[in-house]
Amino acid sequence: MVVKTIKNRGIEDEDVLKAMEEVPRHLFVPEDQRSQAYGDYPLPIGFGQTISQPYIVAMMTELLGLEEGDRVLEVGTGSGYQAAVLAELPAVEVYTVEIVPELAERAQETLDELGYDNVHCRQGDGYYGWPEHEPFDGIIVTAAPDHVPQPLREQLAVGGRMVIPIGPRGGYQTLWQFVKQPDGEMKAYSMGGVAFVPFTGKGLRGNEEGGGWPP
């Protein structure tokens, strides 16, 4: 999967490629899906959620540009697969939030069984991030809101990167990479069209103070 699909599609970061090779994806999918675990496509994991396509996981991880010792926030733990990939990067601390209690519990169990002691899981509304551990050098969002949540903007460190799909509920969205500037503004780079499950927290309603587009 890594050699034929991900590397050949342009993923160059050797740490990311190694992480993709190390994580046993089949352990993050339901047993009846394991024969398909290493195909380059998303799979259902229950509760209307999916485990993302491996190429998309690798691309979003590479876009974060994480360095040794960085702290990263993931919004949307899902199966825990993306968190595990992040945890394989050199000396990175991962904080991950999942809104669905059953998925949060299952992901925690899988990550614990695999020995990822640098992953910290919490069940809750990822719209609000995890302010107790800010600032984050990277923030990755694995469900699609219709705008950048204001709390996530505030919790991103200056110079940090946020990778997030933004768009309407259903259909396709645009994947964005944002880099936080010294004045607090977010420099935006479009990474093309993607399809993610919708964001299900407060951000779906788009009614927070100071939110909306442009970021």
- Active-site hit among 35, 52, 79, 190: 52
Residue the block writes with tokens 């993709």: 20
Residue the block writes with tokens 């479009």: 190
Distance (Å, whole) CA 190 – CA 173: 11
- The answer to whether 190 is a known catalytic residue is no
- Bridge partners (DSSP) of residue 138 are 72, 161
Residue the block writes with tokens 């499950």: 197
Taking the CB of residue 135, how many other CB atoms lie within 10 A of it? 16
CA 45 from centre of chain: 16
Distance (Å, whole) CA 148 – CA 116: 29
Based on the number of CB atoms within 10 Å of its own CB, is 31 exposed (0-12), middle (13-18) or buried (19 or more)?
Answer: exposed
Q: Which residues are catalytic?
A: 52
